[in-house]
A and B are shown apart, each in its own frame.
Chain A
Amino acid sequence: MICIAIVEDEKIYGEQLERYLRQYQEEYQIEFKITRFHDGDEIVNGYRGAWDIILMDIQMQFMDGMSAAERIRELDRNVAIIFITNMTQCAVRGYAVDALDYIVKPVEYFSFAQKLGRAIERIRQKDENYLYIPVEDGMVKLNLREIYYIESQGHVLKYSTARGEYHVRGNMQTQEDTLSDYGFFRSHKGFLINLHYVDEVRENGCILRGENLPVSRKKRKLLMDKLMEYMHLGVK
């Protein structure tokens, strides 16, 4: 189920968006939980972070959409914000609040559905995934986000993670096969890196959280391509 908030002060537009969302539900068999707000301050006051997508009007009476988005970003870095506006000028600056996109009024169903579809695709990417690795006294459950990179050291794999290092017997190829769909990339024979943490790509290496890790010559272009794909999904 996807939780969507509509923040729109004009009743006709608010109703129209709700109608479109219901139509989308029918067409794509996705369940939405829709909440309506009538001004920016309504959603900001007592913000619960319970939404996946916020459809936000920019021009509103008490608190405009841009300020509301700023306040929300302070509390919630993950929610996808889509502005609904007739002011292109403001919306272009949406990057400042990490807005995903905007829809220009009058809203038509086709473009609405396209943009919503892209937002949903991005949310799906953010689903939490875990990896279990055996340690001396049992198993450790690691969120994939916590893993920076995996280094092969003979028959042992070194996991460099937010919780420290783990040395576990294992095979690089198997880990590559399982993790490559989740934003990991084999940059070198001995390294499987989390694309999320790549800061820079250099001539024959990459900077990952300040560490210089090797990238094989023929993998450099592929790494750039993978990074692009990763950024396209906007999983920040």
Chain B
Amino acid sequence: MEGIYQNIPRLYTALAEWAACAMYLFLLERRYSEKVTVILAVLALAVQAVLLVLTGGLPVVFWIPSMVTAVFFMYVFLYKSCRTTTMSAGYCCAKAFLLAEFAASLEWQLHTYLLAAGVRMEWFRFVLLAGVYFLVFGAVYCLEKPLQTREYLAQLSKREFFLAMMMVAFVFAFSNLSFVITESPFTSRIQADIFNIRTLVDLGGIAFLYAFQSRMCEYLAEKEVLAVQNVLKSQYEQYRSYQDSMELIHIKYHDLKHQIAGLRAETDKGRRERWIDAMEQELDANEMSIDTGNQVLDTIFGAKLLQAKKSGVRMTCVIDGALLGFMYVTDICTIFGNALDNAMESVMMLPEPEKRLIHATVSSYRGFVYIEIANYCEQELEVAEGDLPKTTKSDRKNHGFGLKSVRYSVEKYKGNVTVGIKDNWFELKILLPKQ
């Protein structure tokens, strides 16, 4: 690495690493006031610069340990100055590291190119350095901003985290392969090529990470839309059920008027008594509101019981709603709305009305809440990947989300879901730890 093909000065790398971290400070929630943050940032820059310059002269064997130390300090800087978890700080740090590699590499490539072309002015170096770093980090900042970095990080799963980590490690190894090994199909002896490989591989890695993150964001947004739709739907159903009950009340009102007239005219005491008893029974049978101990469940089940009655479905439920007090409204809607919709749709396919049976249970068992929604079913069940059954509906694009979102909601509370058919009963069982 002689002549004009010198490698990137360590100070430049330090600056790039620091600037990448600093960019994330703008995207994340800062832990301290501006003043303290600035002091921290200056301190971090000093540490990074000293560390990299000092380790610059060491032989290749120490190159990896010194890189690891540099990354570690980047992590400390990010974690200390941002209000974040260890995992999301790690994720940001990995991305910042890759970005820094890319920015430094790109800048140095342009630098050597211009140097070879004969540009030799000292001031030019600084303009180039500032310009390239500013453009790269500015562009990334603009790209990351709409990706809801904070929301995404809050929901970052272990799997995604490790995937990103692996990717960064892989890209880093690949882009620097030429500096360590010269004889391999993926490396080059020509310095210009080595720089080219490094810049392009880094760029590819960054592009992959952004594609990955934006896809994950879309996926999370889809989930949310689905949950919101469920809530809206159940609210609409509640409204409809009120409308239906109003109609029912109007009919009964007119009925009652006639009945009172009839009762007045009835002279036989015994017959009058029987008539009144019959009326009372009818009133009980039309009692539609239920009191489970949880208002959200009351709404959902109230609507479904009415719907069931209208379509000749026998729906029974033994529910201790108070047990679900720890759950969010959206999750209760998702779980019960979807499960009952599925059950209802399934039993409606049965030609014999007396077989249309649905039973729901919410009960407590030691440290658990046990939920079971079962319906009579004569169909076979096709189980798809990840042990949830495939949708039986023809419109596959819009269906089959139901059970998935049930599982998603249940897993938020560290619970479990299973589905299966036993003795002609389709059973959806959920077990949640009490909170």
Contact = CB atoms under 8 A, between A and B. Distances in A.
B200 to A, nearest CB: 40
Interface string A157-201: 000000000000000000000000000000000000000001111
A235 to B, nearest CB: 10
A17 to B, nearest CB: 16
B357 A225 contact: no
Contacts of B362: 95
Interface in A184-236: 198-201, 207, 221, 224-225, 227-229, 231-232, 236
Contacts of A227: 368, 431
B303 to A, nearest CB: 14
B11 to A, nearest CB: 45
A104 to B, nearest CB: 6
B144 interface: no
B418 to A, nearest CB: 6
Contacts of B290: 88-89, 92
A95 B319 CA distance: 6
B305 A104 contact: no
Nearest to A197: B366
B287 interface: yes
Contacts of B415: 224
B143 interface: no
A47 to B, nearest CB: 23
A111 B318 contact: no
B433 interface: yes
Interface of A: 59, 86-89, 91-96, 99-104, 108-111, 114-115, 117-118, 198-201, 207, 221, 224-225, 227-229, 231-232, 236
Contact of B354 (A92, A110, A199): A110
Nearest to B363: A95
Contacts of B301: 92
Given A89-B289, A92-B292, A227-B368, A110 B431 contact: no
A213 to B, nearest CB: 14
A80 B317 CA distance: 16
A224 B289 contact: no
Contacts of B285: 86-87
**Main secondary structure on B side of the interface with A:** strand
Contacts of B319: 92, 95
Contacts of B318: 91-92, 94-95, 99-102
B6 interface: no
B366 A88 contact: no
Contacts of A200: 366-368, 433
A231 B431 contact: yes
Contacts of B376: 114
B372 interface: yes
Interface of B: 281, 284-285, 287, 289-292, 301, 305, 314, 316-320, 352, 354-355, 357, 359, 361-363, 365-368, 370, 372, 376, 415-416, 418, 423, 425, 427, 429-431, 433
Contact of A231 (B305, B316, B320, B368): B368
Q: Which 6 residue pairs spanning A and B have beta carbons closest together?
A: A224-B416, A200-B367, A95-B320, A110-B354, A199-B367, A231-B370
Given A95-B320, A108-B354, A87 B431 contact: no
A232 B366 contact: no
B412 to A, nearest CB: 15
Contacts of A115: 359
Contact of A89 (B291, B354, B359, B368): B291
B433 A201 contact: yes
B36 to A, nearest CB: 35
The listed residue with most A CB atoms (<10 A of its CB), out of B355, B416, B418, is: B416
Contacts of B372: 232
B46 to A, nearest CB: 41
Contacts of B284: 59, 86-87
16 contacts: A86-B284, A88-B290, A89-B287, A89-B291, A92-B291, A95-B318, A95-B319, A100-B318, A101-B359, A108-B354, A111-B354, A114-B357, A198-B366, A224-B415, A225-B416, A236-B365
Given A117-B423, A224-B416, A228-B416, A199 B366 contact: yes
A221 B363 contact: no
Contacts of B418: 225, 228
B367 A93 contact: no
A228 B429 contact: yes
Contacts of B416: 221, 224-225, 228
